[in-house]
Amino acid sequence: MGRSSVFTFQYIAIDTEAGVTPEEFETFVRAEGVHLPLYPGWRWTLLRGLRGERTGQYLMLYEIESAEQRDRYVTARGEQTELARQFWAQHPEAEAVLARWRRLGTFGELPTLFTDYRLLADNPRSTVTPGPRYRNRPGEEPVARVIGIHNLALRAGVTEEMFDRFIAENHHRIDDYPDWRFHVLKGERGNRLDQYVMMMEIASLDALDVFYPEPDIATGEAAEFAAAHRDTKQMYEEWKQLASFSGSPQIYTDYLAVAENPA
């Protein structure tokens, strides 16, 4: 992930009314969906909600190398550009796979709800390094990262410029839990436009459970970490003077990666 990366959240769903099950959908995506052609500079991960607002629901997390690369293929309204239409015309074999996907549920396309985000800050010191968010191949170590998406809102009287400046000047003070990595994202456009999110990328379910095995209930290890990283805790207290923070009582969903394109 580069400093210019942008993200798109596509809030997809399966057709439960037609009897589609999560197992059926995920099996299809891993076997066929992940082989759909990709726009250059794009990647996506399929996430299933573990806990929080969208437990059991799906989200397609797109990471794109730059806003310019995103805008070559998708407009601010979420519609395909002429270049995107040319791209799909060059891959007629994809239509059959897309048709099967659409029989099971929605895809990352209109009228699916979506939000485009830009990256305000993350932690380059994190032990979670760029790489696959999901992998299940013979002879390779399995990967299934947890992605926590925690919605944030500014306090009364706080402007976006004030909060953005605070994050830019202070994010270096944040030390993540081992095998966790924070990203502060700012919503820019979409038919579901959320203001800010804290996106936590966690190496595995085990790494989540060390600190939060139950929603919003921290372990002793979390308390020990906070005691050993007092400036991080102080930065969070300053943050809370400007905006809400991640976790309860704010809206959030912790997701598990269940499929990813092989790019």
Residue-wise pLDDT for 178-211, tens only, equals 999 999 999 999 999 889 999 999 999 999 999 9
Which residues sit opposite 51 in a β-bridge? 254
Domain count within the chain: 1
1 within a domain of the structure (yes/no) = no
**Contacts of residue 132, Cβ cutoff 8 Å, sequence gap at least 6:** 143, 260
227 within a domain of the structure (yes/no) = yes
Q: How far is CA 135 from CA 5, 78, 138, 141, in A?
A: 22, 29, 10, 8
> Could you read off the pLDDT of 111-136 as tens digits, one per residue?
999 999 999 999 988 999 889 999 99
173 within a domain of the structure (yes/no) = yes
111 within a domain of the structure (yes/no) = yes
Number of separate helices (H) and strands (E) present in the chain = 8, 10
Which residues sit opposite 202 in a β-bridge? 146, 180
Q: What is the CATH number of the domain that holds 83?
A: 3.30.70
25 within a domain of the structure (yes/no) = yes
What is the DSSP secondary structure assignment for residue 185, as one 8-state letter?
A: E
The first and second tokens of residue 17, run together, are 């009314």
Residue 180's domain comprises: 6-260
Q: How far is it, in rounded angstroms, from Cα 32 to Cα 11?
A: 20
Q: How far is it, in rounded angstroms, from Cα 193 to Cα 13?
A: 18
Answering whether pTM is above 0.75, one says yes
Q: How far is it, in rounded angstroms, from Cα 78 to Cα 86?
A: 16
Report helix, strand and coil shares of the chain as percent, to nearest 5: 30, 30, 40
Q: How confident is the model at residue 3 (pLDDT cuts 50, 70, 90)?
A: low
Q: How far is it, in rounded angstroms, from Cα 24 to Cα 39?
A: 26
100 within a domain of the structure (yes/no) = yes
214 within a domain of the structure (yes/no) = yes
145 within a domain of the structure (yes/no) = yes
